Amino acid sequence: MDDLFFFIIAKYNYWAAIVLLFIGLFGMIVRNNLMKKIIGMVIFQTAILLFIVSIGAKRGATVPILKFSPDKQPMLDAATYANPLPHVLILTAIVVGVAVLGVALALLQKIQRVHGTIEEDEILEDMRK
């Protein structure tokens, strides 16, 4: 029983990320409404970010900002700080995500103006005309 408990405790973050990933992917591919596709895209990207940030966590560690001892010397025990590298990567990726989101929404507005709808099947019908 304990083993199972520890197994769940050790992996639940990754599981949640993978489940969210596929929820988003499903929405992106299957939903007919383009706005829903974009929302799926946001969920999909964030799930990946959740996965990568999870890599940086360490048991018993604190935020990766150095603490100083009373005599102004930094305390440098690496095990007491969370891993900063995934944080840096994800900061970059969040910004990339909002950039893509902005472009997608701009395209969506244009599609609405040209085709008069944002339902995929209606757009395809409109294009066949």
Partner 1 sequence: MMDHAPALMIVVPVFASLVLTLIGPLGQRAAYGLLILSIAGSLAAALVTLVQVVQTGQAVYYRMGDWMPPMGIELVIDHLSAGVLVLICACALLTAIYSMHTARQDNPDRLNHYYALFALLVAGLLGMTATGDVFNLYVLLEISALSSYGLLARGKGKAYYATFRYLIMGTIGASFYLLGVGYIYIMTGSLNMADLSEILRRPELEESVSVRIGFTLIILGVWIKMALFPLHAWLPNAYSRAGTTTACLIAPLMTKVSVYVMLRIMFTVFCVDYIFQQIAWSRLVIYLASAAAVLGMITALSQRDLRKMLTYIIVAEIGYLTGGAWLANTAGYTGAVYHILADGLMTLCLFMAVGAVIYRTGQSTAAAMQGLFQRMPVTAGVLLVAAASVVGVPPTCGFFSKWYLLQGAVKAGEWVFAAALIIAGLVAAILFFRLLERAFFGRLADAVTEKKSKKPHGTARKIRIQEAPLTMLLPLVFTGAALFGLGIYTNEVVQYLIRWSVPAGI
Partner 2 sequence: MTWDASLLWQFDILILLMMVICAVTALALEGLLSSAIATGVYSFLICLMWTHMMAVDVAFTEAAVGAAISTVIFLGTAQYISRWIKKDRPKEQGIKQLTLVIAMICAGMMLAATRDLPDWADTASPASTHLSPGYIEQGYFETATPNVVTAVLADYRSYDTMFEVVVVFAAALVVMVLLRHTSHKHRKVLHLRPKREGRDTVLRGAAQSIIPVMQIFALYVLFHGHYSPGGGFQGGVIFGASFILLALCYNLKFSMNRFKEHAVLWCCAGGVLLYAGIGAACLSLGMNFLGYGALADGLGVSVVMARSHGILAVEIGVGITVMAVMVSLYYDLASGGDLEDGL
Residues 32-91 that bind partner 1 (CB under 8 A): 34, 37, 41, 44-45, 48, 51-52, 55, 85-86, 89
Q: Two tokens at 29?
A: 């591919």
Q: How far is the CB of 129 from partner 2 (least distance, A)?
A: 17
Instruction: Pick between residue 60 and residue 129 the one whose CB is nearest to partner 2.
Output: 60
Min dist. Cβ of residue 48 to partner 1 (A): 5
CA–CA distance, 121 with 129 (Å, rounded to integer): 13
Task: Answer yes or no: are the C-beta atoms of 54 and 14 closer than 8 Å.
Answer: yes
72: left (phi over 0), alpha (psi -120 to 50) or beta: left
- Residues at the site binding partner 1, with contacts judged by CB under 8 A: 21, 25, 28, 34, 37, 41, 44-45, 48, 51-52, 55, 85-86, 89, 92-93, 96, 99-100, 103-104, 107-108, 110-111, 114-115, 123, 127
